[in-house]
Amino acid sequence: MIRRFVLSAAAATAAVLTIGGVVSAHIDPDPAEAQAGSRLTVGFTVEHGCEGSPTVQLDMRLPEGVTDPITEPIDGWDGSIETVDGEVIVTFAGGPLADDVEGTFSVTMTLPPTPETTIYFPFVQRCEVGEIRWIGIPTEPGEELDEPAPAMALIGPVATVPTTAPVTDPTEPEAIAPETSEADATETTEAPTTTDASPETSAAPATSEPLSTGIDEDGDPRTGTIMFIVSIAAVLGLGAFVIYRSRQARANSSPDAT
């Protein structure tokens, strides 16, 4: 009886250790829960290799609805993204990552705008010898799988991701405005010409020498007035002198003067 008890205890312990090993081997995304429609960086931690063989490559399929993925740099590894048969595949290649060393591989992405759902990231862990296919997706809640795909729960409300201006590749030429033909340019740029029916504009009559306005070059009207008065005075003075000389001449020529 004691022997049976010992054997049962050992079996139970082995079962617990086995279950614990399976659970601990699960690869959960970090975070395991996120707001639907949000943009964030998700980390996937590989805890071990393939039965002692180091890891050299990870191939992960992104869930439907995930957009704008970007691989985050990790020393010794090259990240790439490609679309194969309509599915987006993220690949990390390099290493090797030793069997007893953990490694976290991160991808920045925009999550689907579907709250209250669970999305899965199935991927294949490739080692120098062998591989582990973390692709199991449960068909019903609570189903236990040996190699389950990383799962993330999406919660609401749906996040509003701010829109940004598209990034312009500096090597691409700037957008050029549509070319305008020479005929169009002539129509739009040249001023319209006047037809014969339009009234002719008479040219201003040519003017002769300007009439005297009594304003000198400096624009002072008093100068002209003074010159006019001086001229009159000169004429009157000359007239008076002539009359005076005429009278004097008559007086000298009269008999009484002798």
SS3 call for 22 = helix
pLDDT for residue 171? 52
In the chain the beta strands, taken as DSSP E runs, fall at 29-30, 33-35, 39-46, 55-61, 67-71, 77-84, 87-97, 103-110, 117-120, 123-127, 131-134, 151-155
pLDDT for residue 119? 97
Tally of CA atoms within 13 A in the half-sphere of 167 that contains its CB: 2
Residue 230 vs residues 227, 234, 236, 241, 243: alpha-carbon distances, Å:
5, 6, 10, 16, 20
pLDDT for residue 193? 47
- Each residue's pLDDT, cut to its tens digit, for the chain (258 residues) gives 444 443 444 444 444 333 333 334 578 899 999 999 999 999 999 999 999 999 999 999 999 999 999 999 999 999 999 999 999 999 999 999 999 999 999 999 999 999 999 999 999 999 999 999 999 999 988 888 999 999 999 999 999 866 555 555 545 555 554 555 454 544 444 444 444 444 444 444 444 444 444 444 444 545 555 676 767 777 777 777 777 777 777 766 655 544
SS3 call for 241 = helix
Q: Which residues pair with 118 in a beta bridge?
A: 153
pLDDT for residue 83? 94
SS3 call for 15 = helix
To the nearest 10°, the Cα dihedral for 246, 252, 257, 258? -160
Residue 123 DSSP one-character state? E
Q: What are phi and psi of 223, to 5 degrees?
A: -65, -45
Domains of the chain in sequence order = 22-155 (2.60.40.2230)
Query: CB–CB of 80/119 below 8 Å?
Result: no
pLDDT for residue 114? 96
pLDDT for residue 142? 81
Give per-residue burial for 143-157: e unless 16+ CB within 10 Å, then b: eeeebbbbbbebeee
Distance CA 254, CA 248 (A): 10
Distance CA 65, CA 80 (A): 19
pLDDT for residue 178? 53
To the nearest 10°, the Cα dihedral for 34, 37, 40, 46? 60
pLDDT for residue 172? 52
Residue 70 DSSP one-character state? E
Token pair in block for residue 19? 């279950």
